[in-house]
Structure 1
Amino acid sequence: MVRVATYFAMSFGAFLFWQSMDKLHVWIALHQDEKKERLEREVEIKRVREELLAQAKQKDSLA
């Protein structure tokens, strides 16, 4: 009976371990996606800012 209980406890422990690792993996992947999206937005903002500054310089040089 002790062997059966030990086997069950070890199987259940392994199941909980793999479930927690799966959730951790999903959380890390989502976090990396959010970080990538944030960096892409920052690059886009910098590009638009540079374009606007270039346009403003052209208008100043023409005026």
Structure 2
Amino acid sequence: MVKVATFFAMSLGAFIFWQSMDKVHVWIALHQDEKKERMEKEEEIRRVREELLQQQAREKDPLS
């Protein structure tokens, strides 16, 4: 009887462990996606800012 109870307890523990690992993996993937999106937005902001600075420089000094 103890062997059967131990088997069920270990099976339940393994199931709970794998479910929690799935949730951890999903959380990590979402966190990485958010980080990637934030970096892409920051890069877009830098690119637009650089274009505006170049445009302003051309307007200030039309000879160059």
User: Would the TM-score normalized by the shorter structure come out above 0.5?
Assistant: yes
What band does the TM-score fall into relative to the shorter chain?
over 0.9
**Letter matched to residue 19 of structure 2:** Q
Q: Which runs of 5+ in 2 are unaligned?
A: none
Aligned to 2:39: 39
Higher RCO (C-alpha 8 Å, min separation 6): 2
TM-score normalised over the length of structure 2? 0.95
TM-score normalised over the length of structure 1? 0.96
RMSD of the TM alignment (CA)?
Answer: 1.1
Aligned to 2:2: 2
Residues 1-63 of structure 1 mapped to structure 2, 5 A cutoff: 1-62=1-62
Q: Greater share of helix residues, 1 or 2?
A: 1
Could you list the structure 1 runs, at least 4 aligned residues long, displaced by more than 2 angstroms after superposition. Answer: none
Deviation (angstroms), 1:62: 2.2
* Percent of aligned positions that are identical: 71
Task: Give the paired residue count.
Answer: 63
